Structure 1
Amino acid sequence: MHAVTHRLTILSATLALALGATAAHAFSDDEARRAILELRGQIQQMKDQNQQARLQLADQMDMLHQEIATLRGRLEELGRPGHPAAANGPANAPQLSVQTDDPQQQAVYQAAADQYRNGRYPEAAASFAAFVEAYPDSELSTDAQFYLGSSQYASKSFKNSIQSMQALVQKHPDSARAPDALLVVAANQIELNDLKGAKATLQRITKDYPSSNAAETAKNRLKLL
């Protein structure tokens, strides 16, 4: 009888241990399931956020491309003598900001301007570069330098355009062309995917030339960056 009782005690203890282990195992499985569900939720949330960020970036890039196209059209207008945009001031004026009494200089400049007006941008760039080299002290040199950079931009020679426009600003920081030259620098930087550089250039316009037409354009560009 004692042996039977002992066996029952052992059996009961074993069953209790087994049930306890099963409960612990079930508890562990529930915890694991909850952890997996939470992890899945976090992953889905990250995916949703990542998708939203990609969409926002795509929207910004589309707007930037539209702005670049608008600026390119504006630059093309700059080289069209007699264009109505001349009434909007120096930033849009296709005519010279100064005049010269030297007919030879005037003829060389006009030949380059005609190339620009006719969409022959590489030829115009070469002609304006030749003018700047031949007449560095001319009253027309600042305008020639500006249209040199504009021709290079229109020719998609973005790095050369940056150099030309930066040279203009460095040599003639008080020129009416300077803020627009920096605006073209920023456009070149955007084309080269140098958004950090473009942002710095646009901020420089708003800081150094706050009253210029280019400053308002720069503020709008900065909102996109």
Structure 2
Amino acid sequence: MTLHKKSIALLLSGAFLSLAQPAFAQEDEQARRAILELRSQLKQSDMVRNDLASQVQQLQNELRQLRGQLESLGNVGQTQVLEARANDDIGPSAQVGDPAEQRAYDAALDLFRAGDYAASSKALANFTASYPASPLAPSALFYEGSSRYANRDFQGSIKTLNEMLASYPKDPKAGDALLVIAGSQLELNNVAGSKATLERTIKEYPGTPAADTAKERLALY
């Protein structure tokens, strides 16, 4: 190759290089921007993930707390039945004139005391059916409703105790009957109904131990 041709070749190669450099620089800039954008997206994804994880943890904590409250509320209904069993007022019952009537009531109540709730609920229901005008009928209805609650027949418990309250609203056990109803409603996931029943207990039977218990339970909601 002559000197002239070599000079021309060098000039052309230099020209090509000068033309290629801006294109390479542009591609590098685009790649750099893409990397920066990807990093930004990854950072945002991490932030979103962390935020979601925090929210999930908070929800789990709230759920555990709610479960604890519901468990506490559920336990108080069972406590009500146990207190009824231990209460002195289910000791020697009021005596009635008919010996057969008295024996039927005492036998049914003995089943309740023994914790045989399925049998006691049936026996007490039979008693009120056989002796609807008995002075022992309100107590029989109360212990039948309590037996049904303890046997997890919550609908039956509510029905029986509402019958008692409708017929004997002034009975000494009326406030306690409302407490058992509130416990049954809670077991049936009727939280609003349970709260309303507790509020009713406070309103209709103020100054009674049942009203005090209702206030304590409302504080758990």
Indicate whether the TM-score tops 0.5: yes
| Conserved 8 A contact 1:99-1:139 | no
Q: Which residue of 1 aligns with 2:193?
A: 197
Q: Which residue of 2 aligns with 1:163?
A: 159
> Of 75, 79, 83, which residue of structure 2 is paired with 1:74?
83
Q: Which residue of 1 aligns with 2:43?
A: 34
> Of 52, 55, 67, which residue of structure 1 is paired with 2:64?
55
Q: Per the alignment, do residues 156 and 26 of structure 1 end up closer, same or farther by CA in structure 2, a change over 3 Å counting? A: closer
Greater relative contact order structure (CA < 8 Å, 6+ sep): 2
Q: Deviations over 1:13-51 (max 9, x none)?
A: 313322321232122112112111111211220232133
Give the Cα separation in 1 of the matches to 2:92 and 2:139: 7
Q: Deviations over 1:133-184 (max 9, x none)?
A: 2222232221121122122223333221111011111222233222111111
Give the Cα separation in 2 of the matches to 1:63 and 1:216: 17
> Of 168, 176, 180, which residue of structure 2 is paired with 1:184?
180
> Of 96, 114, 131, which residue of structure 1 is paired with 2:110?
114
Greater shift after overlay, 179-188 or 110-119? 110-119
- Letter of the 1:18 counterpart: E
Give the Cα separation in 1 of the matches to 2:169 and 2:181: 14
Give the Cα separation in 1 of the matches to 2:159 and 2:92: 22
| Conserved 8 A contact 2:73-2:183 | no
Tell me the secondary structure at the aligned position of residue 152 of structure 2. Answer: coil
C-alpha RMSD over aligned residues: 2.9
| Conserved 8 A contact 2:93-2:106 | no
Q: Which runs of 5+ in 1 are unaligned?
A: 78-84, 87-92
Give the Cα separation in 1 of the matches to 2:207 and 2:93: 18
| Conserved 8 A contact 1:96-1:140 | no
Q: Which runs of 5+ in 2 are unaligned?
A: 1-7
- 1:128 paired with 2:131, answer no
Alignment of 1:74-153 (within 5 A): 74-77=83-86, 85-86=87-88, 93-94=89-90, 100-153=96-149
In the alignment of these two chains, the number of paired residues is 212
| Conserved 8 A contact 1:112-1:127 | yes
Q: When the two structures are superposed, what TM-score results if normalisation uses the length of structure 1?
A: 0.78
- Identity across matched positions, percent: 32
| Conserved 8 A contact 2:80-2:179 | no
- 1:21 paired with 2:17, answer no
Q: Which residue of 2 aligns with 1:82?
A: none
Greater shift after overlay, 96-105 or 53-62? 96-105
Deviation of 1:96 (Å): 7.8
